[in-house]
Structure 1
Amino acid sequence: MPRFSANLGFLFTEVSEIERVAAAAAAGFEAVEMHWPYQVPAVEMRSALSRSQITMLGLNTPVGNATAGDFGLGALPGRESEFQQALDQAISYGHAIGATAVHCMSGLVTGNAASAAERTFVANLKLAADTAARADMTVLIEPINHRDKPGYFLHTVEQAASVIDQVGRGNVKIMFDCYHTQIMQGDLTRRLKHFLDLIGHVQIAAVPSRAEPDEGEIDYRDICRSLDRLGYNGWIGAEYKPRGRTEEGLGWLSVWTQDQSSDNRGAMV
């Protein structure tokens, strides 16, 4: 049965970041993930996780100079030293709080710089993978759609698979965000099956609204069943923007959990 984690960058934003951990646990989540929690001291975050007995899955590398429009540094030629600083910060913080993965953001790249960007990204990911391995962490890379983030270098699952092949490290995996992939490519079930061995994490949100996954054009209950049939044993991250208060929109979680329990009981009969 798929296990669901709460992305605290989008969920429970009615309270402070440190309080979101307890809120997620109270709502029934057993794991959380965050975007950029660095303003919270690591010792405080680890204590909050311990009190709630909840697992921290992963966090993102810092974006760079956000005021200048940066959205990641991994594929930006000439900025390798900045990427290494961002990577070191993410892995140091992640290791301190017990996170299991770091998402290395590729950044925004113009079309005519794609070849140089790919070479840079591959080289940076080799460094990231080796550094993460020493902290017993996985490196995730995520294709992000061009409607929400025009110019994002990594934007298809096939591109991510090619990059991972070039990196040649076993601890580099795809963060398969169904929302982004549906917008860019569609054909989710086939891609999940084809790239299953390379997938380290799955995320969900409604398309096109990016709200709760109980609306829109993707049948996530079927996606969950497909992941079960495929033998996916990782987490599914709820990375959506709630229509209202987070708790008011969590009906899908209890319904889907009951669905999966019923399916499993039926399989044992």
Structure 2
Amino acid sequence: MRRSFPSGEVRFAANLKWLYTEHPLEERFDAAASAGFAAVELASPYELTVPRLRSLLDAAGQQMVLINTPAGPAGTSTAMGSAFTPSAREQFRDGVMRALEYAAELSVPTVHLMAGAKPEDVDGARAFAGYVANVVWAAERARAAGVTLVLEAINKRDQPGYGLESMEAAAAVAREVDPMTVGVLFDFYHAQVGGGNLVERFEALRPWIGHVQVADNPGRGRPGSGEINYDVVLSRVAASGYEGWVGCEYDPAGPTDESLAWIGERTS
């Protein structure tokens, strides 16, 4: 699914954690394909086997463009990722290898390396140094696998203890570690809650942006339901030369297909 602007084109991927939840997971691929989505992203593909996912993607004629590294069980310190937790190094490494295995088998080009929360009992500088070391370790494996890692700063209203402070901090880590292998996941919803100034920040970070996601604020609803002027934002994304996918990671607040009018005139 695409949207054209005078300055270029934007390609959209359906995030199957957030969209088409009116269907069981295995039915969401076909539902998204019927709406015109040729690409999907899935935060946690691990509840399905690689062969089953391959079958679903092939049947729907889709490409998986993004997955996350595994998160720990709900309610645990690693529920949003383990990269910031010094005591979870083995869990982190096992998760990276599992994500890269899925990415290789499913031809997924990009993996979101989840930072997770900073432990309250660990010094901030020590936790950050450990995080960077973990990104270095993961980047070495991703480089060998031909996969791009992206780092995302989740806003502190939704996740008060999340380790990465900002999109700019994510970009600084990417530059330090390996900007050819590590980039930024620029989520306009999180960026708006975490400081706003969206177009200027996107354009400043553009050289390091490896993936984009959209939702509106407040409520993380469909673009156009809140305060973000997505006509302007997406036009600037199209003009920036960004050629990757834009993940639709929003709450449709009802049947997903009824929420897609914001894309406007579109083609698959």
Task: Give the aligned partner of residue 251 of structure 1.
Answer: 261
1:100 matches 2:109 = yes
* Residues 124 and 69 of structure 1, relative CA distance in 2, 3 Å threshold: closer
Task: Give the aligned partner of residue 228 of structure 1.
Answer: 238
Q: Which amino acid aligns with 1:155?
A: E
> How far did 1:66 drift?
2.5
Task: Give the aligned partner of residue 264 of structure 1.
Answer: none
Question: Contact 2:151/2:170 (CA < 8 Å) preserved in 1?
Answer: yes
CA distance in 2 between partners of 1:30 and 1:114 (Å):
42
Match of 1:54 among 48, 59, 62: 62
1:198 matches 2:215 = no
Question: Contact 1:129/1:169 (CA < 8 Å) preserved in 2?
Answer: no
Question: Contact 1:14/1:245 (CA < 8 Å) preserved in 2?
Answer: yes
Higher relative contact order (CA 8 A, sep 6+): 2
> Going by fraction, where is strand more abundant, 1 or 2?
2
CA distance in 1 between partners of 2:117 and 2:42 (Å):
21
- TM-score (structure 1 length as normaliser): 0.91
* Stretch moving more, 171-180 or 134-143: 134-143
- 1:48-93 Cα deviation digits (max 9, x unpaired): 1112111101111111243324210012113211100111111112
> Going by fraction, where is helix more abundant, 1 or 2?
1
CA RMSD after TM alignment: 1.5
* Stretch moving more, 111-120 or 166-175: 111-120
1:53-202 matched pairs, under 5 angstroms: 53-70=61-78, 71-110=80-119, 113-202=123-212
Question: Contact 2:84/2:119 (CA < 8 Å) preserved in 1?
Answer: no
> How far did 1:155 drift?
3.0
CA distance in 1 between partners of 2:139 and 2:187 (Å):
21
1:219 matches 2:229 = yes
Q: Which amino acid aligns with 1:163?
A: V
CA distance in 1 between partners of 2:34 and 2:160 (Å):
37
Task: Give the aligned partner of residue 24 of structure 1.
Answer: 32
Task: Give the aligned partner of residue 262 of structure 1.
Answer: none
* Residues 142 and 256 of structure 1, relative CA distance in 2, 3 Å threshold: farther
- 1:103-138 Cα deviation digits (max 9, x unpaired): 111111157622112111111111111211222211
CA distance in 2 between partners of 1:256 and 1:162 (Å):
37
**Secondary structure of the residue that 1:78 maps to in structure 2?**
helix
What residue ranges of structure 2 are gaps of 5+ in the alignment? Answer: 1-8
Q: Percent identity, aligned pairs only?
A: 38
> How far did 1:13 drift?
1.0
> How far did 1:174 drift?
0.3
Q: Which runs of 4+ in 1 moved over 3 A?
A: none
Question: Contact 1:140/1:173 (CA < 8 Å) preserved in 2?
Answer: yes
CA distance in 2 between partners of 1:54 and 1:41 (Å):
17
- TM-score (structure 2 length as normaliser): 0.92
* Stretch moving more, 91-100 or 135-144: 91-100
CA distance in 1 between partners of 2:128 and 2:160 (Å):
17
* Stretch moving more, 233-242 or 124-133: 124-133
